[in-house]
Amino acid sequence: MAKGLTVRQEKILQFVLEYVQNEGYPPSIREIGQKFGIGSLRGVTVHLDALARKGFIERSNTPRSIKIVHPAFQTGTKVVMLPLLGQIAAGTPILAEQHVENLIPVPSEMVRSIQGAFVLRVKGDSMSGEGINPRDLVVIKPQQTANHGDLVAVLMGDEATVKRIHFTGETVKLMPSNPAYDPIIVDREDARVVGKVVGLMRDYEGMAF
């Protein structure tokens, strides 16, 4: 399966998911076109064909023939697609296209009404004391401020790290929960808070993204 979706493909997939969950059957090609302002049926089918090639849907020649087939959507849980971010260059928008490695299905109740939520993959075991393991996926609520003791994603250089943040005068301590690691102490201006951790998922082992 090809990796990743375009923004338009993501939005169409999300629309199909929500339509099926609300109505019990998929939308027609014409309804998808009306939703996204696509003037021709062919313009819609180009996106549907791409979703089929990438393993998210199956289609036939009958009306309303769209079927969600990707394993991540077979639980019956309502989901939203969130961007999985890789390296994040300082000074560029957090959700800039070049940062997005993939799109990950996340239970909608984990995201609630959060706008701009995104996903980071955990590297290392420094937070294992809180049950956060290597390759876990953490859901981040974007924000630039934090309270003492919050579990946050902090940008240092071109990568984000997940730690408890402690404020001490002109510096911050990024606190691990694994006693094998020491706190990271940096000046406040060198630790840019990019969001607060609001959810955690185990890695989709064996799934193709």
- Residues that are catalytic: 126, 163
Number of CB atoms found within 10 A of residue 51's CB: 23
Number of CB atoms found within 10 A of residue 158's CB: 12
CA distance 152 to 135: 17
Structure tokens at 138: 């953490």
